[in-house]
Amino acid sequence: MTTHASGDLGIHAAGLTKSYGDLRVLDGIDLAVPRGSVLALLGPNGAGKTTTVRILATLTAADSGTARVAGLDTVTERSRVRRLIALTGQFAAVDELRTGTETLHMMGRLAGLSPRAARARADELLARFGLTEAAGRTAKTYSGGMRRRLDLAASLVSRPEVLFLDEPTTGLDPRSRQDLWELVRELRTDGTTVLLTTQYLEEADRLADRVAVLADGRIAAEGTPAELKSRVAGHRLDLTLTTGAAYEALAPRAVHLAPDELTLGLPTDGTAAHVRALLDELDPDRTDIERFTLRSATLDDVFLALTGADR
């Protein structure tokens, strides 16, 4: 893990553990997120992503370990931390029966703005999030993407230094997802530290300065998206096989499986010599492999290789 003076870190966690009954959800989490950067916490369902976010956002206490957010201890300086952070959860936490303006205005009042300042901040955020036209309608009439945008806007009313986004794009259509990515990039440009959790590797790849892969309550790997990708062989040879038997025979060696298409992927360095040798080794009679494609490794491959998920 990179070393930083803790003043440069937006988020710094050391040795966080959490159990619910016998279930050990977090088993020693260390994180260091420089101020003004984006960290993606990547992991399958149940890996402990939400628990990590809730501890860092002061909503849940860890069993052991320490966490500092915006330079402050999340337990002993909880109130001060809360004034510097914002959280957008997995489900849009906006009142369906209130309008966009009403929601943002109230958030402003709760954040300590005067009525006039809260009104101005609400209008500003509505405009920035493309909700001006819908501002006077109740959120019940909004699309899923609009609700998420309103939810994110609500969390930004207080101009947080550190923003936690728990699966911010789950369930969104591609267009809304793109919009949300753009907003996160803007926040980063403004100097906000962002920790987002995601199951989507593409999302981590596109948005994050660094990625931490969470599996079974531990950080299985941490680095820039490029570093993580280079940890697996770098390329993947996808083979489409002629028979189910041939597919089954090779499946144990694969890092990518698509049984419906009788296609599987194997790691390779991408050189002609290695690809040729691999094809000869796997299919000496030249009957089993119908086609092949060579692809750059994606974070999916990293993820599967590191977490053993899906196998």
Partner 1 sequence: MTTLPVSAFALAGRSLRISSRRPDALIVALMLPVMLMLIFVYFFGGAIDTGTAYVTYVVPGAMLLCAGFGAASTAVSVSEDMTNGIIDRFRSLDVGAVPILAGHVAASVVRNLISTTLVLAVALAIGFRPQAGPTAFLGAAGLLLAYITAISWLAAALGLLAKSPEAAGGFTFLMMFLPYPSSAFVPIETMPGWLHGFADHQPLTPVIESLRALLLAQPAGDAPWIALTWCAGITAVAVTLAGALFRNRTR
Residue 102 binds partner 1 (CB under 8 A)? yes
Taking the complex as a whole, how short is the minimal distance between the CB of residue 221 and partner 1, in angstroms? 29
In angstroms, rounded to a whole number, what is the distance separating the alpha carbons of residues 129 and 126? 5
Contact mark string toward partner 1, 25..64, x via CB under 8 A: -----------------------------x--xxxxx---
User: What is the separation of C-alpha 283 from the centre of its chain, rounded to a whole number of angstroms?
Assistant: 39
User: Is the separation of the CB atoms in 97 and 140 below 8 Å?
Assistant: yes
Rounded distance between C-alpha atoms, residue 153 and residue 135, angstroms: 12
Listed ranges 93-101, 272-280, 282-290, 293-301: which one lies at the site for partner 1 (CB under 8 A): 93-101
Output 155 or 307, the one with its CB closest to partner 1: 155
Q: Which residue has the tokens 């009679």?
A: 285
Give the nearer residue to partner 1 in terms of CB position, either 61 or 258: 61
Q: Nearest approach, Cβ of 39 to partner 1 (angstroms)? A: 18
> What is the smallest separation between the CB atom of 166 and partner 1, expressed in angstroms?
10
Smallest gap from Cβ 21 to partner 1, in A, equals 13
* Plot region of 54 (φ>0 → left; ψ -120 to 50 → alpha; else → beta): alpha
Location of structure tokens 């911010």: 168
- Integer Rg of the chain from CA: 23
Q: Report the SS3 class of residue 32.
A: strand
Side chain identity at residue 250, one-letter code: L
User: Can residue 14 be called a binding residue for partner 1 (CB under 8 A)?
Assistant: no
Site track for partner 1 across 110-139, x = CB under 8 A: xxx-------------------------x-
**Alpha helices of 129-271 — where are they, by DSSP H?**
144-156, 174-189, 201-207, 225-231, 244-250
- Applying CB under 8 A, among 95, 124, 209, 216 the residue interacting with partner 1 is 95
Among 10, 43, 89, 100, binds partner 1 (CB under 8 A): 89
DSSP structure class, residue 91:
S
By the rule CB under 8 A, 75 interacts with partner 1: no
- Which member of 86, 221, 232, 237 binds partner 1 (CB under 8 A)? 86
Token pair in block for residue 78: 């909880």
Nearer of residues 68 and 236 to partner 1, judged by Cβ? 68
Distance CA 212, CA 225 (A): 9
Q: How many residues lie near partner 1 (CB under 8 A)?
A: 31
* Spatial distance between the Cα atoms of 184 and 190, rounded to a whole number of angstroms: 10
Within 147-206, the residues that bind partner 1 by CB under 8 A are 154-155, 158
Task: Beginning with the edge strand found earlier in the chain, give each strand of the sheet holding 72-73 in spatial order.
Answer: 23-34, 9-20, 64-69, 72-73
Nearer to partner 1, 122 or 220 (CB): 122
Q: How many residues does the chain have?
A: 311
Q: State the residues that interact with partner 1 by CB under 8 A.
A: 54, 57-61, 79, 82-83, 85-87, 89-91, 93-95, 97-98, 102, 106-107, 109-112, 138, 154-155, 158
